[in-house]
Structures are given as C-alpha cells and as structure tokens.
Amino acid sequence: MHHKTIVQLSAALAAGECSSEELTRAFLERIERFNPPLNAFITVTAESALAQARAADQRRRRGEAQPLTGVPIAHKDIFCTDGVRTSCGSRMLDPFIAPYDATVVERLAAAGAVMLGKTNLDEFAMGSSNETSFYGPVRNPWDLEAVPGGSSGGSAAAVAARLTPGATGTDTGGSIRQPAALCGITGIKPTYGRVSRWGMIAYASSLDQGGPLARTAADCALLLGAMAGFDPSDSTSVDRPVPDYATLLDRPLAGLKIGLPKEYFGEGLDSAVAQVVEEAIAEYRRLGAETVEVSLPNSALAIPAYYVIAPAECSSNLARFDGVRYGHRCEDPKDLLDLYTRSRAEGFGSEVKRRILVGTFVLSAGYYDAYYLKAQQIRRLISDDFRRAFEQVDVIAGPTSPTVAFNLGEKVDDPITMYLSDIYTIAVNLAGLPGLSMPVGFVGQRPVGLQLIGNYFAEDRLLNVAHRYQQTTDWHERSPAGF
C-alpha cells in the first residue's frame, strides 16, 4: 500500500479497498520503524491522525468525500498547527504550541487529508542540507551518508522513504525543489501569492511560498489544488481562481517550446548531472517538444542579491522572537536587554544568527543604498531576464541543483559553498515565478532532478509538462532500497 501514489490511494479509498484508518495505521507503523535512521519527523501526531482518519471514513460513508479525503500527509514544521508544537526546527520555538492553524493546514484538513505529523527542516528554513535543525540532521533515504537537501529536507526524505505519500514544504530560495531533486521526488513551488502564507512562519516574506512534495506531478496537482487560493488573512495572497490542476495534466506536448538557459549548463554544473539532464530533455523532444537556447544573462547575480534580500527580511521577521510573549526565554535575566540578547543567543543556531547579522548590517544606516537598494535593482534585472525568455518559450528547463546530494558535514562549516547549491533555484524566487523539480535519473545511487520554470500562474502547465514525462518514464517509481 505504501508504494501507491496519492492518486492510487485516493482510488483505493473510493473503491473501498481500504479505510483511511487502515492506511493511516500503516503509515504510522512505517514512521515508527523507519524514522529513527532518517530523523524526518520532529513530531508524530498518531492519536489525532487516527481520529482524523476515522472522521474521513465517516465522511466517505456519508458520500461527502473529496479526492484527498482520508489520504495521509505530513506538514513541514513551519506551518502552525493548532494545539501541536510548531518548532520551525529551532530551539527558540521548541516550547511553542501554535494557537491556530495555518491556512494551508486548515485547507488540507477541510479537504479531508489526515496529518501524520510535522517534518524536520533547517532552522527557520535557512539552509540547503537540513543540517541546521535544532533536532539534528535528516538523512537521505537513498544514502544515509548524504544530506536530503533543505530546507524542506524532512518532507522530502519522508516522501522518498514512503513514510507519507505527500507533504507540504516551503521554498524561499529552492527549499522545495532542491530537496525534491536530492531525494528523487516531485515538488512544486507555486507563483508568489498563489498559496497563503498565513500561519507559515516567515523567513523572507517577499520570497517565501508554500507548496507540495509528492512522488508524482499528478499527486502534486491534487495537493496544490487544495492548498492554493485567495486568503484575506495574507495581504500578498492573489485573488485569482485556482484551475483544476488534476484535469489539465494530460494535454499533449506537441508544439511546446522549452527554453534551455545557457547559463544553467555552464561552469559549475557537475558533468554527470548535466548528462542526466540532457537525457531528460531529449525525452521531451521525443514527446514532441521543441527546445531552444535562451539566455538569462543576470543569473550569476541571483545568489549575491538573494543573500542581501533574504537576510534583510529575516532580520526584520525574526525580531519578533524576544523571549517575552512566546518561545525560549533565558534563565534569570538581569534586565530587559539581557533578556532579549541572551534569549535570542540561546534560542537561535549559528546559521540563523549569521543571517540576522548580515540582514541587520545591510539595513543599517549608511549601507542601505549600497546593499539593499542595489539588490532590489538586481532583482528587477533578473525578473526582466525571465520576462524576455518567456516571450520566446513556454517553459524553461535545466538542472535543479548543480550536484547530486552531498555528504553530511561536507559543506556545513563553509556557508558560501553551501549557498552555491541553490544557484539554479534562487532566481525563480526573486522573480516570483513557479518552479517544479522532478526525478529524471541518477548519478551512482543518488537522484538527479530536472527543474521546470513557468511563467506567472502557469502551475497547470508545469504540472502538465512534468506529468507527460512521467507517463513515459519510470524514475518517479524508483524507491530507495531498505525502505
């Protein structure tokens, strides 16, 4: 049962082949057995999962089931869950029991999905390897010596190891797509504004966007359909109808124009990864698509601009963690300043502190124009690059990550090298575009992801383009040995 996709599980539930309670028990047992080596879950909500499963079974008996009713999922522990610890991978929020549900959590629950638990992540979603979590690193089910990617590493590892059929994630600079690539699954970061950020703990507010991770594009279509849509509680939520993604998956690819950015295939890309990506692109040609070279000339500026904008927004967002109203407080503060500075020093890990300090510096008096304003101007240049490319092509394709999963500990002491692992994903966030990663092969035993980038609100097209590939290939069906 655990090898079935969400689409298949949904059909099995509808056909009465199993109940949601049986399914939920089966996944909870798998989590109990396989989570210890992976550390993919921070919290398992077994009791409430079974209660939700029984409620889903009753709902189905009443004839009120939707496609996700009774399907188990997991939430990245960055989404607030009423009455359940929401840690964001940080000691700061280790004692935090969220007093309300995030809109994403509420919508998936309303669709009848069952929450198995909360998945591990880089602290406050700041990282590309899931090694900055207060709860310890997550391991990659394809190779326990390898990182799963980050920051949604727990969600990606859990899906890849079949501990859950689908999970939520968030993506500020690649945090859905990069772990999806490194764990051999499918994940989509929607257009900025497509999925509500209400109750999603903020890292960099102008870049953060929630989305699903699952085995296939068809599964992501179902999850995204339930997650997306206007939310008055999020001031940046876009009021625009959500297409029925699941019914738009089968459109043929004949005539599709795929742009290949020359900057994404140059220096820095591992040659074995390049070869796998080229083979996937050749498959698209066989499916009737036309490929053309495009240029995104300002690509090299994306990481520098991101490491101004994201830390600036992070330093401002994380100012709220002051040890007063919720979260960690130091022992015996001698005065208010001591309470703030020590609570924050004890509550945050070193990568979060680095980003807060960088952000504080670039926003400080005298430096704003040289750093923050300059970065915002570069953001415009990058966005204009994509705008010009989408005048020529329907989607853009390339590698998700320059390498396959690296080893635990390999980059953890060198922030700059770690930052470079997001070289192909960050520009998409700066422009606010949707991007998807899906598995297209392996180098050794470690998976390779293909990234597809679409125009604003073209999630339906990305899911369709990925789905057609998955109809004629079986990379998405491979599962790691031992799980």
Measured distance CA(344)–CA(4) in Å, rounded: 44
Q: Please, which residue, 27 or 192, has the CB nearer to another protein? A: 192
Q: Smallest distance, Å, CB 339 to another protein? A: 6
Listed residue (138, 124, 130, 134) closest to 91, CA to CA: 134
SS3 string, 231-277, reads: CCCCCCCCCCCCCCHHHHCCCCCCCCEEEEEHHHCCCCCCHHHHHHH
> 176: burial class by Cβ within 10 Å (0-12, 13-18, 19+)?
buried
Q: Smallest distance, Å, CB 319 to another protein? A: 8
Q: Per the residue annotation, which of 10, 87, 133, 151 is the catalytic one?
A: 151
Q: Please, which residue, 354 or 478, has the CB nearer to another protein? A: 354
Q: Per the residue annotation, which of 129, 175, 343, 437 is the catalytic one?
A: 175
Q: Smallest distance, Å, CB 330 to another protein? A: 9
Q: Smallest distance, Å, CB 434 to another protein? A: 11
Task: Report residue 48 as tokens.
Answer: 């409430």
Conformational region of residue 409, where left means phi above 0, alpha means psi within -120 to 50, and beta covers everything else: left
Q: Please, which residue, 148 or 210, has the CB nearer to another protein? A: 210
Distant-in-sequence, close-in-space partners of 367: CB < 8 Å, separation ≥ 6: 361
Active site residue 151: yes
Q: Please, which residue, 218 or 242, has the CB nearer to another protein? A: 242
Q: Please, which residue, 247 or 377, has the CB nearer to another protein? A: 377
Q: Around 154, how many Cα atoms within 13 Å sit in the side-chain half-sphere? A: 36
Q: Smallest distance, Å, CB 263 to another protein? A: 14
Q: Please, which residue, 155 or 315, has the CB nearer to another protein? A: 315
Q: Per the residue annotation, which of 10, 76, 237, 315 is the catalytic one?
A: 76
Active site residue 76: yes
Q: Smallest distance, Å, CB 429 to another protein? A: 8
3-state class of 214 per DSSP?
A: strand
CB atoms within 10 A of CB 254: 9
How far, in Å, are 129, 245, 421 from residue 405 at the CA level?
9, 30, 10
Q: In what order do the strands lie in the sheet with 166-171?
A: 41-44, 114-119, 72-76, 166-171, 209-214, 186-189, 435-443, 446-454, 395-399, 257-261, 290-294
Q: Please, which residue, 361 or 442, has the CB nearer to another protein? A: 361
Distant-in-sequence, close-in-space partners of 63: CB < 8 Å, separation ≥ 6: none
How far, in Å, are 4, 55, 75, 416, 463 from residue 254 at the CA level?
30, 44, 37, 42, 16
Q: Smallest distance, Å, CB 133 to another protein? A: 19
Active site residue 334: no
Residues pairing with 261 in the sheet: 294
Active site residues: 76, 151, 175
